[in-house]
Amino acid sequence: MAQITIEERGRNLVLNIGGELEYVVAPVPVEVGQLLLSLFLRIYTGQEGDLEKASADLAEMSLGGDLAERARGELRAEEYVDVINAAFYWQAHGGGIKVIQSYKDGGAPKAIETLFEAAGVQLTPLSTTSPNSASETPTP
């Protein structure tokens, strides 16, 4: 993760990048948090067809349009990804500072695990066989 400090100030998430740039992220309504989690789940499970558009939508919804545009214009790629991830992990249904800390400590896999646990998401692997398919060793 880039050199970013994170704090909640009032109802906002404040991201400070390298002690020089500050981004104040306003909270989104609960419905938007649910949409963020839903969009992320479609991306995560491979059900989202247009990944570039979905990723841009995720950034816009997490940061807000003006702040997302500002971030694209002044941050390095690594910083931008970390700012978007921090905002997403804070805004998504089930998210918060605990999920951002998981991201800082264990990367995206740990943050996703923490987010899914907090949101009550349980992903189960898809079966590779149909329940109606014949057994490979049928009985006579």
Which tens digits make up the pLDDT trace of 21-76? 999 999 999 999 999 999 999 999 999 999 999 999 999 999 998 999 999 999 99
pLDDT at 122: 87
With a threshold of 0.85, does the pTM exceed it? no
Instruction: Tell me the H-state helices in the chain.
Output: 30-44, 51-63, 65-74, 77-91, 97-119
Residue extents of the structural domains in the chain: 4-119
State how far the Cα of 55 lies from the Cα of 10, in Å rounded to an integer: 28
Yes or no: say if 82 and 105 are a contact pair by the CB < 8 Å rule. Answer: no
Predicted confidence (pLDDT) per residue in 99-133, tens digit = 999 999 999 999 999 999 999 898 776 556 655 55
pLDDT at res. 131? 54
